[in-house]
Copies of this chain bind each other. A is one copy, B any other.
Amino acid sequence: MQEQKQTEREIKQIIDTCDRLIQAEKFDELVGYYSEDAVLVVKPGMQAKGREQIKQAFIKIAAYFVNSIKPLEGKMVYLVAGSTVLVLAQTFLEANDTAVKNSEFSVERRATYVFSKIEDRWLCTIDNSYGTTLLEQ
């Protein structure tokens, strides 16, 4: 149980760090928290694979939102199985929406992230902020 709490703390810290790096648009540093063969669901039906593609995807996402992205995590559930963790997270994405005349908006999502312990470091292997809504496509 101690170990579970420790793992949860470590992963929460990484997610918070990544959220700050996304907001600061420090994408080189950001992708260091992803595994080499990580998958990011950019939008339903579109995936970025590996650090370089993930970096390029974040650059495009930031541009689309006129560099106003601010991800925030709400409630989180951690399912810990040794060196693999599934995180379920309520996520709020705040940004200016270019499509509706730069008005502020906030999107609530239920994300699923997988983290794997690789060479003694927790890295994000699967980043799917759309959760099970991908089944609706």
Binding site for B on A (CB under 8 A): 35-39, 41, 47, 49, 75-77, 79-82, 84, 86, 88-90, 110-112, 114, 116, 125-126, 128, 131-132, 134-135
Which B residues lie within 8 Å of A131 (CB)?
88, 131-132
**Is there an interface contact between A38 and B132, defined as CB atoms closer than 8 Å?**
no
**Is there an interface contact between A79 and B128, defined as CB atoms closer than 8 Å?**
yes
- Distance in angstroms between the alpha carbons of A80 and B49 in the assembled complex: 9
- Distance in angstroms between the alpha carbons of A90 and B134 in the assembled complex: 11
**Is there an interface contact between A77 and B114, defined as CB atoms closer than 8 Å?**
no
Which B residues lie within 8 Å of A89 (CB)?
135
What is the distance, in angstroms, from A59's C-beta to the closest C-beta of chain B? 21
Q: Please, which residue of chain B has its CB at the minimum distance from the CB of A49? A: B81
